[in-house]
C-alpha cells in the first residue's frame, strides 16, 4: 500500500521565496498584493470561524479565503456561481469554441500596456465575429470571451477563448438563423480580419500617445512584423450541443488560473516540478516559478470575461430574449445537483450537527486593500 503524495501549495512557495523574487525582479503593486493574498489565504491572517460538533464537542478552526481571482484555492466556488448565473442566459443552441492568439511580437507590448492591448484584442475579436455574422448570416451572434495569458509551462502567451453561438437572431428580428453543422466561418478569413482590426486599433492607440517608449521607427517595424504573419486564429471547433455542457466546458476556462496546485508535483529549496501536458513535466527554480506566475496577474478592475452580440443584451425584451423566443424549449434533463453553500453538515467522527462560531479572539493582520476577485 503506497503512501499518499504530499500536497504542494503555491502559497508555501510564495512564503518561502517571495523575498528572493522581489530582490531579483521589480513587481507591480497588483502583483505584490496578489502574492500577499495568496500567502494569507485560509490562514489566521484573514480570520475565520470555529466549527464545533454538538455531539462530541470536537472543535475545528476554518479560515477565510482571500477570494482573489488569481488564487488557485478560490476558483471552484466562483466558477460554480458564474455557471449558475449564466445558465439562465445561455441559448439552447450549439456553440463553437474559437481560440484567437496574436503573434509573439505583440507580447512585449502587452507586458507594458496590458489594459490597452488586451482591450484592443477583445474589441477586434468581437467586431470581426459580429461582422461575419451580419455579412454571411444576416444575423447577430452571441459571444462570450475569456482572456488567458499563459501556456502550460507558465510562459506569457495572451490569447482569447471565445464561445460563439452556432447562429444568431436575423437582422430583422423575425427568425433564428442556424449555421451549417460543424462549420462557422473560414479560419483564414477570420485571421485576416483579426490582423487588420488589431493593427488598426494599435495605430489608433499610438495616435493617442500610447506606447511612448517606442520611437516612430520602432513602432513601424513592429507593425510591419505583425502584418507579415498570415494566421492569427488558432482553431475553431464545435464543442457541445447541450447548453449545460457548454457552460461546464466554458466554466473551466473562465476561472482557470495560470497553474493549479494539483499540477505541482514536487517542491524543494532549489526546484519546483510541475505537470505541463499529459505526463510531461518541467522543473524550474522557485524564483523562476514565481516570476512566471506573477506575469499573469491582471490589473485591478480589468474584466477578463466579456460578452458581445446577443450575450451582451441585458435589458428585458432585448435581442437575447427575442432570440430565445424563436428557439424551441429544450427538453428537461437531469443536471448535476446544485452546489449548496453554507449548508449544515455533520461531524465526520460522530455524525453530530456542526455549529459555527466567529473566531473573534483570533489575531488579525492589518487590513488589506480590497482585492479584485
Helix, strand, coil percentages, rounded to 5, for the chain: 40, 20, 40
What confidence tier does 365 reach under pLDDT thresholds 50, 70, 90? very low
Q: Calculate the average pLDDT of the chain.
A: 86
Model confidence over 71-130: pLDDT tens digits? 988 877 777 787 777 877 889 998 998 999 899 999 999 999 999 999 999 999 999 999
Q: Which residue has the higher pLDDT, 366 or 321?
A: 321
pTM: 0.85
Q: Determine which helix (DSSP H) or strand (DSSP E) holds 48, and give its type and residue range.
A: strand 48-53
pLDDT tops 80 at residue 335: no
Lowest average pLDDT, out of 28-32, 99-103, 152-156, 346-350, goes to 346-350
* Cα 283-289-293 angle, rounded to 5 deg: 135
Q: Which residues pair with 272 in a beta bridge?
A: 267, 284
Model confidence over 208-261: pLDDT tens digits? 999 999 999 999 999 999 999 877 877 887 766 666 677 777 777 777 888 999
What confidence tier does 338 reach under pLDDT thresholds 50, 70, 90? very low
**Whole-angstrom distance, CA of residue 266 vs CA of residue 303:** 33
Mean pLDDT of 180-200: 90
- Let me know: does 158 contact 121? Beta carbons within 8 Å: yes
- Let me know: does 59 contact 49? Beta carbons within 8 Å: no
Given CA atoms 70, 74, 80, 82 in this order, what sign does their dihedral have?
negative
Model confidence over 131-142: pLDDT tens digits? 999 999 999 999
Amino acid at each position: 500500500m503506497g503512501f499518499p503524495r504530499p500536497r504542494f501549495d503555491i502559497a508555501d512557495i510564495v512564503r518561502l521565496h517571495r523575498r528572493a523574487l522581489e530582490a531579483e525582479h521589480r513587481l507591480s503593486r497588483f502583483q505584490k498584493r496578489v502574492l500577499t493574498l495568496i500567502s494569507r489565504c485560509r490562514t489566521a491572517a484573514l480570520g475565520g470561524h470555529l466549527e464545533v460538533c454538538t455531539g462530541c464537542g470536537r472543535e475545528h478552526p476554518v479560515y477565510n479565503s482571500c477570494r482573489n481571482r488569481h488564487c488557485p484555492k478560490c476558483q471552484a466556488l466562483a466558477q460554480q456561481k458564474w455557471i449558475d448565473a449564466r445558465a439562465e442566459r445561455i441559448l439552447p443552441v450549439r456553440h463553437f469554441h474559437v481560440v484567437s492568439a496574436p503573434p509573439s511580437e505583440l507580447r512585449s507590448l502587452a507586458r507594458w500596456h496590458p489594459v490597452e492591448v488586451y482591450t484592443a484584442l477583445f474589441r477586434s475579436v468581437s467586431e470581426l465575429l459580429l461582422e461575419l455574422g451580419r455579412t454571411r448570416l444576416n444575423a447577430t451572434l452571441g459571444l462570450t470571451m475569456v482572456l488567458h495569458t499563459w501556456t502550460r509551462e507558465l510562459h506569457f502567451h495572451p490569447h482569447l477563448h471565445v464561445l460563439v453561438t452556432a447562429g444568431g437572431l436575423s437582422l430583422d428580428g423575425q427568425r433564428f438563423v442556424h449555421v451549417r453543422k460543424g462549420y462557422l466561418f473560414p479560419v483564414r478569413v477570420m485571421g485576416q480580419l483579426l490582423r487588420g482590426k488589431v493593427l488598426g486599433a494599435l495605430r489608433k492607440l499610438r495616435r493617442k500617445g500610447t506606447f511612448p517608449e517606442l520611437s516612430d521607427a520602432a513602432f513601424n517595424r513592429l507593425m510591419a512584423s505583425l502584418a507579415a504573419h498570415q494566421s492569427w486564429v488558432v482553431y475553431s471547433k464545435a464543442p457541445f450541443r447541450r447548453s449545460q455542457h457548454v457552460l461546464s466546458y466554458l466554466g473551466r476556462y473562465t476561472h482557470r488560473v495560470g497553474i493549479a496546485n494539483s499540477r505541482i508535483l514536487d517542491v524543494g529549496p532549489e526546484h519546483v516540478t510541475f505537470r505541463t501536458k499529459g505526463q510531461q513535466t518541467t522543473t524550474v527554480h522557485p524564483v523562476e516559478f514565481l516570476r512566471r506566475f506573477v506575469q499573469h496577474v491582471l490589473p485591478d478592475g480589468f474584466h477578463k470575461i466579456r460578452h458581445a452580440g446577443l450575450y451582451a443584451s441585458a435589458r428585458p425584451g432585448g435581442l437575447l430574449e427575442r432570440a430565445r423566443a424563436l428557439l424551441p424549449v429544450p427538453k428537461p434533463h437531469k443536471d448535476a445537483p446544485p452546489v449548496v453553500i453554507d449548508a449544515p453538515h455533520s461531524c465526520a467522527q460522530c455524525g453530530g450537527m456542526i455549529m459555527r462560531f466567529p473566531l473573534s479572539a483570533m489575531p488579525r493582520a492589518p487590513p488589506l486593500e480590497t482585492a479584485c476577485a
